[in-house]
Structures are given as structure tokens and as C-alpha cells.
Amino acid sequence: MQRKGGWLREFRRDLHAHPELSWREKRTTNAVFETLTAAGLHPRRLSTTGLVCDLGPAAVPGGPGLVALRADMDALPIHEATGLDFQSTNPGVSHACGHDAHTTILLGAALALAELDAGPGLPVGVRLIFQPAEEVMPGGALSAVRDEVMTGVSRIYALHCDPRIEVGRIGVRSGAITSAADHIEVILHSPGGHTSRPHLTSDLIYGLGTVITGLPGVLSRRIDPRSGTIMVWGAANAGSAPNAIPQIGALHGTVRTGEHQIWESLEPLVREIIGELLAPLRIKHEVNYTRGVPPVINDHLAATRLAAAARAVSPDGVVDTPQSGGGEDFSWYLEESPGAMARLGVWSGEGRQYDLHQPDFVLDERALEMGVKVLTNVVFGSVD
């Protein structure tokens, strides 16, 4: 593994220096494809970007299903400010979420598993999924599912970088580990008018304020607070003059919940509340509701096996982790088969703890080898 440790860093740094946005991961896909092919494997490209590769014994009817391992490949539209020697050469785009590490770890696990398959053999068939477009809703996982990557899969696993956990450990949780995340756009229309005569028109700004404060408030009274449901606005735009009521305004925000059943009921409830809030104000409106991803709900057995895979590397390699309010399209795979995602520690243990989706996000590259070992181990611990 020492020989591969240096290779892992170099491969990850190359990806880091050449980040690609969602659905544009052509260079990344080619780099992974060529590496797998050179190792004697037979990857196949997905219908968009990304690829899938099987190794080990094939799944047979009535026999054990494949164990799938997934990594996401895309970067974010964030200008990098790390000052690293290998920082992004693509202005305005960077791997500020660690997907370069995810891809490298899965590739390292693929090569390790291929060596084992050529020797003693693998106890179960393995499917490697290098997925595009995790960072855009509803996520590239849906496209991968349509490409039938889950056919024959009995369980699926993934790791995600976590800068709050020390390198050498992973955070494991049974049940929900992320939240559902939807986007809301509300567009309001008014005839407009003079601010001295709001009674003769529809006061659009007042309507915006009513929705801004009213929707989160009413949702908090209509939904069990134990579900972790939260609605937050990110943008509000209308008008330009202090004495003129504008004719159009818009709000943009997200609504998140930790429970699958509540997620399924959110859209009609949001539409109902907005309509009731604006009805007395005679303001016309339209709601564009974009369903994002369901929560990632870890299967208990799969989470237990991920924990065992980490403890095989280090006895104290597992820590508890809370449910996140963030969304992750790994959840779409769990609609097809049980599985689990764990949080991979990437904090050096000293100094500042960086955060994801920030221009200066950095990770401790020792986490690469830890990730490879965990994914390799979970395959051998997944024989039912």
C-alpha cells in the first residue's frame, strides 16, 4: 500500500488541478477509464459522463447480489483560494467538496480489489460506480440508475469527506445521515403603483415579506419539529425605487427535512401555505418547486459493516456522526437497494477545521489510504 499511497496522492492532485462541473466530467472520466483499462478491467461509460465497472464473480439469479461502491466526480462553481501548488487551473471551478478524493479512493479500491481478484479471488461480485453531477439537483445518481447501474446490486456503499472528523476515522450512523433538500422559487406579480397609494394596488414588497416570514413559521407549526424540517431563504429580489411598488419580485430558498414521509408531502403543503398567505393581499403568484433528493437513510446492517471495515484498519477508527441538514443524491441508490454512506475524516487533527463548499477547503491526503482500505474491507465483510 505504500507504493500506492504516493500514486493516490498524485492522481488526486491531478484531478484537483483540473476540476470539471456537473455533466462536464470528460477529462476525469477518461482518466479513470484509462487507469482501469490499464489494470486489465473492463469499464463501460454511462450515457452522460461517468462510468461503471464490474469485477469478481458475476451475480446469478438466486445467488448473492453485487456489492456496489460509489464515488462522485464533479466539482463546484467556486473559485479556489487554497494557495496549493496543485490548486485549480480552471478559473471559477474547484473541488471544494472533496470529490477528487472520492474518485481517487474508489479508483484505489478498484486496483486493490483487482489484485485480490487475480489472486485468491473476491467473495462477491463488485460494481464500481463513478457518478457525475452530484452537486446539481436532483443529482446524477438518477441518471446512473436509469443506466441500470443498480441492476443485480444487493448493497451499496459510499464515503464522503468530513473536515470535522480527524483523519484515520470515519463517522458512521444507522438511519438518516443526510436530509432531503428541495428548491423553492416564488414569483409575485402586481400592477405596481405609488407607495403613497398601496390600497389602490397590490403591495408586492409587503407580500414578499409576508411569505419570507410566514412560510417558515407556518411550516414549523404544521410539521413535527422532531423531523428536522427547516425552510431558509437565500435570495429576495424586487424593485429599485423607494417610492414605487414594483410589478414583479422573486424569492429563492430551500426546504429540508430528515424524514422521507414528510419529504413526500412537502410540495403540496408549501404551495397551500403560500397561496393562503397571499390571498388577502390580492397578489398573483407562481411557485416553482424543484424536488431535490430524499434523505440518505443508512441500512443498519450496511452501516454496521462499514463500521467493521473501519475497525479492521484501526480499533478506534469509528466515531458517531450526527444527521446533516445537507442533501446527497446517494439517496437515490438507496431507493433501489439497501446500503450506507459514512463520513471520512479528512482533518489533520491540528489547527483549523475547514468546511465543505468553501474556497479554502483543504484535506489531509492521508485520508486517501484510509478510504481505500475501508472500501476494500467492506467488500470482504459483505457476504450474507
Which residues are documented as binding site for Mn(2+)?
97, 99, 135, 160, 357
Instruction: Tell me the H-state helices in 122-180.
Output: 140-146
Q: How far apart are CA 61 and CA 174, in angstroms?
A: 29
Q: How far apart are CA 345 and CA 100, in angstroms?
A: 15
Q: How far apart are CA 180 and CA 202, in angstroms?
A: 35
Cβ(101)–Cβ(371) below 8 Å: yes
Q: How far apart are CA 83 and CA 191, in angstroms?
A: 51
Q: What are phi and psi of 301, to 5 degrees?
A: -65, -40
Cβ-proximal residues to 358 (8 Å cutoff; 6+ apart), any chain = 78, 96
Q: How far apart are CA 220 and CA 75, in angstroms?
A: 34
Cβ(364)–Cβ(348) below 8 Å: yes
Cβ-proximal residues to 161 (8 Å cutoff; 6+ apart), any chain = 97, 98, 101, 102, 343, 344, 346, 356, 363, 367
Q: How far apart are CA 23 and CA 49, in angstroms?
A: 6
Write out the three cell numbers for 303: 452501516
* C-alpha dihedral, 341 to 26 to 141 to 308, nearest 10°: -20
Write out the three cell numbers for 328: 446527497
- Closest C-alpha among 98, 120, 130, 124 to residue 28: 130
Residues at the binding site are 97, 99, 135, 160, 357
Q: Is 68 helix (H, G, I), strand (E, B) or coil?
A: strand
Cβ(343)–Cβ(323) below 8 Å: no
- Closest C-alpha among 140, 89, 166, 98 to residue 328: 140
Give Cα separations from 183 to 101, 136, 206, 289, 368 (angstroms). 28, 11, 22, 6, 33
CA angle 59, 63, 64 (to 5 degrees): 70
